[in-house]
Amino acid sequence: MILDRFKLDGQAALVTGAGRGLGRAMAVALAEAGADVAGLGRGAQDETAARVRALGRRYLPLLLDLRATHAADLSAVVAQVTAELGRLDILVNNAGVIHRAPVLDYSEQDWDDVIQVNLKAVFLLSQAAGRVMAAQGRGKIINIASLLAMQGGIRIPAYTAAKSGVAGLTRLMANELAAQGVNVNAIAPGYILTDFTSALHADPQRAPAILERIPAGRWGDPADLMGTVVFLASAASDYLHGAVVPVDGGWLAR
């Protein structure tokens, strides 16, 4: 049965930024499909943990600030997940930060912080998880890119650069790891209403302009990513490599 290929029973997933927003929705989606979940973040994950455990799945909270991590720290995270959950089959690189300022005024510190979390940590964690997955002959790495991997945007130069880099890294890792049974793909969310975008959603000028361009006629909800992440994590996507899948209400088609 085709629906059986979407099941994640007996698998273990690591989701960064799992404490809220998109990360929480995707962690819960993976648990609903049958996976145990490790959530990595720098804040409380109580609600995510409660929702995953209510489904009868294990939840492992890991406290780590990606703004100050190195390769050894992220290798240790992967080792802890495999030790405590017994395996690692799925990695979702969701955690991100954003700083908004005009390009001519953008600070070096803001640039470094955004690139560190949104690109460097994605590479290092994917590398560590990829080693485990390649050794076992299977695995799924799912990166969270952005519409800004295809467009420039305004007032977010480091974020645009990082998400463009995530899309490129997704393709490169797919090229190198596909033959070892590891799928590397990305989701490019559109304008999703979370804490991350609340200021933009409240902007009396930009919010109506954004909404006017979305063919679906609404901003997205974190739940709109749940089906896509389960598909990319499951056997149903075994022949999909290097794709950047927009979940954007039709924004890019406009």
Helix axes 21-32, 46-54, angle to 10 degrees: 20
- Enumerate the active-site residues: 159
Yes or no: say if 28 and 225 are a contact pair by the CB < 8 Å rule. Answer: no
Which residues neighbour 195 within 8 Å (Cβ) at sequence distance 6 or greater?
20, 21
DSSP state, residue 137 = T
| E strand spans, the chain | 12-16, 36-41, 59-63, 90-93, 139-144, 182-189, 244-247
135-172 burial string, b = 16+ CB within 10 Å, else e?
eeeebbbbbbbbbbbbeeeeebbbbbbbbbbbbebbbe
C-alpha 208/C-alpha 10 separation (Å) is 44
Q: Which of 252, 224, 229 is nearest to 240 (CA)?
A: 229
C-alpha 77/C-alpha 136 separation (Å) is 18
Q: 155 — alpha (psi -120 to 50), left (phi > 0) or beta?
A: left
